[in-house]
A and B are shown apart, each in its own frame.
Chain A
Amino acid sequence: MSTHRSPLKKETLRRRWRGSVLLVGLLACNQAGAVFTFFPFDNPRFIQLQVGATGGTINNVTFNVTGANTSPNPSPVQGTPDASTPATTPAGGVRVRMRGQWNSNNQNLFLSVNSAAGLACVGATGCGSTVIPFNTISWVAFEKVNFTIFDIQDGTFNGSGTQNLVAFSCCSGATVEMANTLVFTYNNATLYPAGRYTGRVVFTASIQ
């Protein structure tokens, strides 16, 4: 049996070889292309604070001091949040939430409250120009965790412009949220002229 191959057959073999290599190359070629599915997610360094309801709603907490609270002996009066205040656990509180978020390194977070203005007498309600200082109102904080620096503790407004409630340094590149429900009580230790008093405390959160 002849095993001789002509130059033409050799050339044909080479072509088959090249063609086969090309075929393998085509089959082995991993093509790419990509479809990116996304949504905008802006996450700069920020801090957020929510006291009671969201948005610009200002919640009122009412202390209704009746005769039964003054005689024969004065007794503290627990506040009652208005209907626009989100429900809390326990009931009858105002939830304070602070959330900080940043990309790297530790940050210092602060929460303070301004209660300097006091509770001023509402005109024509019989109490004249009397102002009840906010240091008559205290609170019990709930939802506290073991790491006390991350929570508002039980306390009393001190009537100052900047009363620190929370201050901590935290967490390289993270999101931190603290939340406590505060149930307020008017101590009713001083007998003020009967009438209607209103005042506002302002909470401020900061990141430094």
Chain B
Amino acid sequence: MNTQTAPARWTKAVWALLLLTVSALASAQHRLDTSASPRQQVAALQVLDERGQPFGSNPFAQQANAHFGRVEFRLSTPAFMGRRARIDLLLAPQVPGLRIASGLTYHWRGLDGVLSGQVIPGQRQTIWTGLIEQPFTTLALELGMRLDLSAMGDWNGGHFGVEPTFELELLP
């Protein structure tokens, strides 16, 4: 026999819903804010062609290899402090000017405990796993980007680049 009043059932239902929602959120991927990063615009330190010569001086270059050196991404993680988590680096499937996704490879060497890896547009790669201890989690990469010019579509010139995004998933 149900002895609970309507408000009591309502309270339990609300808390059940909240628990489900929080549970769902805990297993979901959370996009992390990178606006606290030291630099919002990171220009390549050096761009070489496929033979290791300066890209800008070879009109017949078939490939551009951009080297960015050490780049730090400062990720906002206050909501996850004290939790174990995995952070992935992602590239959006569409990159302005790029016709064929496989023509662009974003690669890095992880620094200070960050995992090394590479992705093409539309892919993700785990870059860090551990305990979130600070409101901001800094990931340092030695970053590079390889572009096959045959993969380019319409392009009017300018700055070619990508904005990597980072997603966090809480771990049990």
Contact = CB atoms under 8 A, between A and B. Distances in A.
Interface of A: 1, 3, 5, 10, 13, 17, 20, 23-24, 26-28, 30-44, 46, 48, 50, 97, 99, 103-104, 173, 175, 177
B14 A17 contact: yes
Interface residues of B, number: 58
Interface of B: 3-5, 7-8, 11, 14-15, 18, 21-22, 25, 30-37, 39-44, 47, 55-56, 59-60, 64, 66, 68, 71, 73, 76, 79, 97, 143, 145, 147, 149-150, 152-165
A40 B158 contact: yes
B76 A31 contact: yes
Contacts of B43: 38-40
A175 B59 contact: no
Given A24-B22, A27-B79, A177-B60, A38 B160 contact: yes
B113 to A, nearest CB: 19
Contacts of A27: 22, 25, 79
B33 A103 contact: no
Nearest to A49: B59
B64 A41 contact: yes
Nearest to B29: A30
A28 B25 contact: yes
A38 B161 contact: yes
Given A17-B14, A40-B158, A173-B153, A34 B44 contact: no
Given A10-B7, A48-B60, A99-B60, A35 B159 contact: no
A31 B40 contact: no
Contacts of A3: 3-5, 8
